[in-house]
Amino acid sequence: MTRLADEPEELPPDLDDYAEMDPRALALAGWSEVELYWEELSATALSLLGREDPAEHWQEAARVAAEIFAADDARRATSLANLALAEPARAAALLAEAQGVWAASSAWVAGLKLERRARSAIYHMRLMRRYPGGYDHWSRDRYLALHAEGGTALAARAAGGLVLAEPYRAWRDQRPYGFTDGRRLHDAVRLIAPDRIGNVPGEMPG
């Protein structure tokens, strides 16, 4: 991946891994290099919060999102919301647009491939025979809950009150393994930047 001109040399080790990504592995999984570039830009911006101004990363991510994501892709809303932090004069309009895109992204979420995980293939088959559709319902419920969480985060951003303790760490630690549709939704939700870094009310400091 190509770094921006003013990007710091020292990045979290997991962000440096992007340079070693095999484009063939991405293609086999149905991802593209530019899609991963959007993830890298947005994640790098989170890692810079409290240290450096991530505005250029958000602006570039918004440009990429507008070019490659479908109109109802929730990641477009993520970039619009983050762009509002980079361009405060347009913040109200950008956040309103982000909420509109998020509301329209229910169809995008419904079209995501479901995750089916079990300890082994045989165990998976037994579960599917015993509970027809059970895995699908579980995975779909997780997607819907995560999508609802993103909507709540955008509403908090619109009110100027989204506070997160460690947004970059939350994105990194909860990121699904591999290049899946679940990861696309995870990115849409966990890469929404907060208004400020701090302890969430009601939570103990980490």
> In the block, which residue shows the tokens 């602006």?
59
Amino acid 147 reads H
The answer to whether 195 touches 162, Cβ cutoff 8 Å, is yes
Count of Cβ atoms closer than 10 Å to residue 99 Cβ: 18
Spatial contact of 42 and 1, defined as CB atoms under 8 Å apart:
no
Residues in CB range of 115: below 8 A, 6 or more apart = 139, 142, 176, 180, 181, 182
Does the pLDDT at position 52 exceed 90? yes
Higher-confidence position of 86 and 25: 86
Would you say residue 28 has pLDDT above 90? no
Question: Which pTM value belongs to this model?
Answer: 0.81
Contact by Cβ (8 Å): 193, 58: yes
Q: Which pLDDT tens digit goes with each residue over 111-121? A: 999 875 544 45
**Phi (first) and psi of residue 165, to 5 degrees:** -75, -50
Lowest pLDDT segment from 11-15, 20-24, 86-90:
11-15
